[in-house]
Every structure is written in C-alpha cells, then in structure tokens.
Structure 1
Amino acid sequence: MSDQLSNVVVELGFIEKAPAWKLRSKFFPAKVGGYPAWLALKDLPTNEELSCRRCSKALVFLCQLYAPFHDKENCFHRTVFVFVCRDPDCCQENDASNIRVFRSQLPRENEFYPPEPSKDVEPGSESPEAGDFNNLCRICGALGPKTCGGCKVARYCSKDHQALDWKAGHKEECKNPDTISKVSCKGNAKFLFPEFEIELEPEELDTAKEKTEGEVMKEYEELLRSGRVTHQNDDDSDTENDLIDMATKETDKQFQKFRMRLKDYPDQVVRYDRGREPLWVSSSNKPVDVPPCPSCGQPRQFEFQVMPQLLVHLKVDNSGKSIDWGTVLIYSCKESCQSNRNYIEEVAYKQDYSPISQVMKNHPYGAS
C-alpha cells in the first residue's frame, strides 16, 4: 500500500493471504484477525477498555488500518484498531455497543522503531513487539495481568480466557513450565478471527457505466412494486449475489446505490475515505451528533468503514444468530490530536439494512 492513504481517492481494502511474520508491528501492517499488531508498544488499552459495553467480556481484535498523516509530525506512524464482541447476542441492530475503536500514533523519531523502515525479512521480525514491554494474554494479545496459579508463566486478560486456554490444552502443558510459550495456539484458534493482510488500492469508477440517480430510483421503485429483492439478470458476480443474499428481506433506495457502487469491486472489505461521506447501506439510522474528541474538543470526522464482505472471511456464521452488520463506520478526531495516552478511543457506528416492511410503509407504493 502507499505511504499515506489518500484523502482524494477512495482507498479500497481487499483480503490477501500473507505469512504471519509480515503482519507484525515493525512492518506497520493493515490486517484482519489474529493478534493486534500494536503500534505504540507501551501503555496499551486497558482490559476494561477492551471489554464489551453490553456483556463486559473481552473483545476480539477485528482489524487495523495503517493510516499516517504525513502533514503532522506526531502522526508519521498512525494506526486505527477495531475490536468487536464475539457473542452474537451483543450484536444488536444499528447499535455499536459491541464494537470499540482505538487510535495510536507516533512521530518518526520514537522509542520503539528506527526512523528508516525495517527490511522486509523474517529473521528478527518478532521484535520490537508489545510483548517486549508487557505481559500479554496468550489468547487475545491484550494486556495479561492474570497469571496461571499452576505454572506461574501463562498470562491472561481475564478468567474467561484462562478457562478457555485450560480446556484447549494448558491443563497438560501447565505441568512443564519451562516449555510454555507466550502464545496459546489451540486456545487462541477458538477465539481469534482468521488472520489476513489488507491490501489497499484506489477505487477506479467507470463513469460511463455508472448509473444516474434516475436509473437507480427507477430500479428501486421496480423492486418495491415486486415486493421482494431479486438478483439482476446481468453479469453480477457470485460475491455480489452473496451481498444481496444478506439483504433478501431488506432494501431501500440507499441500498440500491450501495450495491451499484460495489458492483465493480464486490470483494472489498474496507473503504477509506477520510473527511467525506460514508457509503451508506440505508437511508435510515445515519449517525447524528457525532461526539467531539474528548481529548481536544475538536470535531470527529468519518475516516473509514468496514464492509459486510469481511463477514465472509471471519467464519462467524452458525445455525442461530451471528455477528452481523451492514457496515461499520469509524469516526476519529479531525486533528488526530496527541494526548498523554498512547491509545485514544474513537467512535464506531453500526448501520444495518432497512427492513423492507419499514421501507414499504414509508413509500407511496407501500399503500398500493
């Protein structure tokens, strides 16, 4: 990806497989799943900050974007981290209580990394890392203040993660403290999301093919008349059809615009468009009165959004309720201010598709 995400062209993020060593802190990755590749290696978010506001359980790392502001000296390195609760019961419609976001930034001259980029090689890729300065939970990679009472080596953020690790195999390895590693391969596999790199590239719109507002509206009205969402008889990809399947009971004019915009890049998992409008999935439930930055009092602005296609890669589907979203919108301090903390909490909003019943109720065709 480029040194700095563009504020002129929308940057689209796509899932790519990469060896785990390339996704460590010293290479400043944009990534999904696995452990967070912490930017500032000290003063990490507290366990309370990394807990769900609904159930109070530890959140799982979802994704991070490396997004420096090269016009600001203290933002030479800058990463935004997104965490989510794994419990599907905490995933409520148009409610981001189960999602938390943190921003970290560093000047070029800092205590953790050299001013010049590290060579892209595996030897020595482990350091520097947050584990050099902190005790980290073997399950999730957050701060691990709790110690196993048996081996006195394994560290955890919570009793829940200690119990998960115990059942996943620590019960046996606990007998041999000298062989215990900082990472629980079996335990974290049950908790963490699959790990991928996010590759970013500019969105290139084919204006000749882009539909006009009138064309989108006409298609929307035809959908309302039919009373259902249907696949289009054109060259839609299987991935786009998957997206429509997510909304088979839901649609509105805004969703039609959303679908058309994604048509050429249906695999995108992230859209970075700092300071401008998100790509809404619904005409309803748009954020209003976004709170200003508590550190400096300046407004927060839209920075990027997580797209529904990412859910395909997280393997969270089950026969019952699952983690879900139409899109997750990230708002951050417009000035990307510095504070006395290495990690500043920002704001996430979750926007889901509008139920077709509500759309029909509010539209003249609903009465016919």
Structure 2
Amino acid sequence: MSTAEVILGFLEEVEPWRLFSPQFPSKVGGKPAWLSQKDVPSLSQLECEICHLPMAFLLQVYSPLSGQDQCFHRTLFLFCCKTPECYSHNDSRCMKVFRSQMPRKNEFYSYDAPPDDEPPPEPYKGHNVLPVSGVKLCWICGCPGTKACSRCHSVIYCGKHHQTIHWKHSHKRECGSQESSGVSKSPFLFPEFELVTEPEAQNTKCKETEDIPTYVDETLAESFAETELEEIAMHETEEIKVFQRFKKRIAPEPHQVVRYHRGGLPLWVSAKHVPSDEVPPCSCGSKRVFEFQVMPQLLNSLCVDSTGASIDWGTVAVFTCSLSCSHENHYSPEFVWKQDFTDQINKEHETRDLS
C-alpha cells in the first residue's frame, strides 16, 4: 500500500479460498490467515488485559513496504476482546496488534504470486494446522492450541474456555463422529469479509469546520463563574469541530471501515484522548508511526450489539515501528489506541449512524 495517499478499506463477500494465507489477504473476521507459521502468538499473548479471556481476531491488513526486502510480505493482525464490560471509556487494554513480515524468498510460500482467478489445487488446511510448521490451531479461534478433546482427541483448543464454548455449542453432539473435525461454524468468530481497498478521492480532504456556534447548557449557567462558562463553551465547541470534521471527511464514502495512511495522521472523532506523547517506541528503539485506523462503521457488520452492552469504539488507531524492524520473534507486538466518542457528541451519533 502506498503511504503517499489515504487508502480506504471496504467489506466485500468473496469465496473462502481467497482469504487463505497463501493469497496474502486483507480481511475482517473469521480466523486469522497467519503470515509466518512460526512464533504465532500464544494464548497468554492474546488474552485481554482486563478480563484475561482470549481475544477474538478482528481484522488483518496486508501492507508490504516497497524497497525493504524483509517486508516484501507484511501483515498486521488486530485482536479485540468480546466482553462488552471491557470497553470502558478510552481504555485500549481490550485490544492488541501484531506485525508479521518476511522476504519474498521464504520457507512458507512460493516465490511467485498466487493466481487470483482460481482456487488452489489442494484444499488449504491452514485453519486446523499450519501446513509447514505443523502448529495445531484452536477450532474456536484459529490461534495456536495445545489441548485436545479428551474424548475424541481430534479437535484442538487454545484453552479450557474455548473447549467449553465448543462443547456447549455443538461438540457434545458431534464428538466422536465424522463431524468432529469442525463442520459446524465457530460461534466465537466475527462474520468474515475480504477487505478491499481504493484510494481516497482528493476532493474529500477538507479544512477544519469553521464558525461553529458555541453553546452552553443554560441549566448550568448559575453554577459557574463567567470564566468557567467560557472555558466549557470553548471545549464543547472544539469537540463539535473535531467530530464535524470527522463526519465531513468520511461523508463521500460512508461505508469505509479502515483508513490506511502509514506515516500520516489519524482522523480522530474527538479532541480528547489523543496520544500526543503516549505512543511508546518500538523495542528496537525506533519511534512508532501511525499506520491505519478502524472506523466505527465496522461495528455495524460484526453482529456485536446486545441488550444493555456492546463492544464499541469511536476509532481504533494502530501505530507501528517506523523502520518495520525484524525480530527473532515472527510476530512483533505493536501499539493500538482506542478513542471513544465523548459525552458532548449527541447520543444518536454513538449508534454508528454517521452518514
């Protein structure tokens, strides 16, 4: 992907084989299409830092960097917790992101690009076991698994939590039958789509919203001194200005779910909770730069709404090593920042209808 312009990502339904690892997909939902088959993140690495339950795969972005041989293939993997209570305001501990990359000549994939008009000659088994490394994967989430069903020994899990989910969902009925290899669909996964991309039209770039009127809740007026009211009004005006700029920028393409602009700036939904000096450097010592963000529109397609609570975000920004350094570990942790809508933004916009 080019870094000179903003690239927009949209959801599209495709044949399943197009989302397998040898096709180097960008995709949302389903199981991760792991790039490197070594050092795949373990259960402990993929636990939510709040509830300590396994996170779910949210999306991956295939983002090779030109001019860097070690980044000929390069994918970023984003995971999120499925527990609604973990989505407290502006708390990013419910999300994690990993970077995997490799040169064109590697031990896992052909040197030549895969055909994009026909499925592979043999069914790809990478959703159950990684073909080259032999790493077994959890039936529920597609992450490395070390535990097998004690009865049939044919289904692998990353831990007891996912084994319990599968048993209650279908495995109690299927265990020991031909179905036990995983015919039924995992209830833990998000709906799966390809992430197709196109450049953002240049005329969508806009200046900051101007001349937005100040407002103050009159019922609070008697409780504050004049200087305090001016400060509140100024802050509320800035909040409206940032959100209106966000809405205006995405209005020409309201169905965008990802914005990619490596080295650029995120499109924030709020003037609050912006990581000015809070993005830590990479473990190699290099600074991290913004690479892509996930838009709130994606939530409409994830089937996550529930009575009383739901996973939620205003936008999720991913920052990666500016050098895209290589590590012995084939999956390098990067930095993710969740920003939520503020109370100043009308509740109707928090329902993700941003058109």
Pairwise CA RMSD of aligned residues? 2.0
Alpha-carbon shift at residue 131 of structure 1 (Å)? 2.7
Matches of 1:261 and 1:291, distance apart in 2:
28
- 4+ runs of 1 displaced by more than 4 Å? none
Q: How does 1:8-157 map to 2 (within 5 A)?
A: 8-120=4-116, 121-124=118-121, 126-127=123-124, 129=126, 131-132=130-131, 133-157=134-158
Alignment of 1:242-321 (within 5 A): 252-287=240-275, 288-294=277-283, 296-321=284-309
Q: Following TM superposition, by how much is the alpha carbon of 1:174 offset from its aligned partner in structure 2, in angstroms?
A: 1.4
* Cα-to-partner distance string for 1:293-344 (whole Å, 9 max, x where unaligned): 01x1100110000000000000111121100000000000000000101100
Q: CA deviation at 1:279?
A: 0.6
Structure 1 residue 217, shift from structure 2 partner: 2.7
Provide the rounded CA distance (Å) in 2 between the counterparts of 1:44 and 1:61: 13
Once residues 357 and 309 of structure 1 are traced to their aligned partners in structure 2, the CA distance between those partners, rounded to angstroms, is: 16
Question: SS state of the match for residue 252, structure 1?
Answer: helix
- Find the counterpart in structure 2 of residue 180 from structure 1: 180
My pick for the range that moved more, 298-307 or 283-292, is 283-292
AA in 1 matched with 2:15: P
Determine if the alignment matches structure 1 residue 342 to structure 2 residue 330.
Answer: yes
**What CA deviation, in whole Å up to 9, does each residue of 1:270-309 have, x standing for no partner?**
0001111111111110013311101x11001100000000
Tell me the CA shift for residue 160 of structure 1: 1.1
TM-score (norm 2): 0.86
**1:203 pairs with 2:200:** yes
Q: What stretches of structure 2 of length at least 5 have no aligned partner?
A: 219-237, 347-355
Partner of 2:349: none
Q: Determine if contact 1:251/1:353 at 8 Å carries over to the other structure.
A: no
Q: Are 1:327 and 2:315 matched, yes or no?
A: yes
- Judging changes above 3 Å, is the alpha-carbon distance between structure 1 residues 74 and 151 closer, same or farther for their aligned structure 2 residues? same
1-structure distance, mates of 2:271, 2:123 = 46
Task: Say if 1:66 and 1:79, in contact at 8 Å, map to a contact too.
Answer: yes
CA distance in 2, matches of 1:333, 1:321: 34
Contact 2:31–2:141, Cα closer than 8 Å, also in 1: yes
Partners of 2:242 and 2:191 lie apart in 1 by 31
Q: Distance in 1 between matches of 2:164 and 2:295?
A: 33
What one-letter code is carried by the residue in structure 2 that aligns with 1:73? D
Q: Is the 8 A contact 1:25 1:128 kept in 2?
A: no
Contact 2:144-2:158 within 8 A present in 1 as well: yes
Deviation at 1:158, TM superposition (A): 1.3
Distance 1:35 1:42 in 2: 17
The letter of the residue matching 1:77 is: H
Q: 2:213 — aligned with what?
A: 221
Alpha-carbon distance in structure 2 between the residues aligned to 1:167 and 1:56: 21
Aligned equivalents of 2:28, 2:345: Cα separation in 1: 35
Report Cα offsets for 1:220-255 as digits up to 9, x if no partner.
326x4799xxxxxxxxxxxxxxxxxxxxxx952111
**Contact in 2 for aligned 1:138/1:184 (Cα 8 Å):** no
Distance 1:88 1:184, change over 3 A: farther
Secondary structure in 2 aligned to 1:15? strand
Separation (CA, whole Å) in 2 of partners of 1:264 and 1:357: 21
Deviates more, 1:111-120 or 1:250-259: 250-259
Distance 2:202 2:216 in 1: 30
Paired residues, number: 321
Q: Is the 8 A contact 2:259 2:294 kept in 1?
A: yes
Residues of 1 paired with 2:59 and 2:184: CA distance?
A: 20
- TM-superposed CA distance for 1:80, in Å, is 0.1
Change (3 A) 1:280 1:106: same
The one-letter code of the counterpart of 2:67 is D
Identity within the alignment, %: 45
Which amino acid in the other structure matches residue 336 of structure 1? S
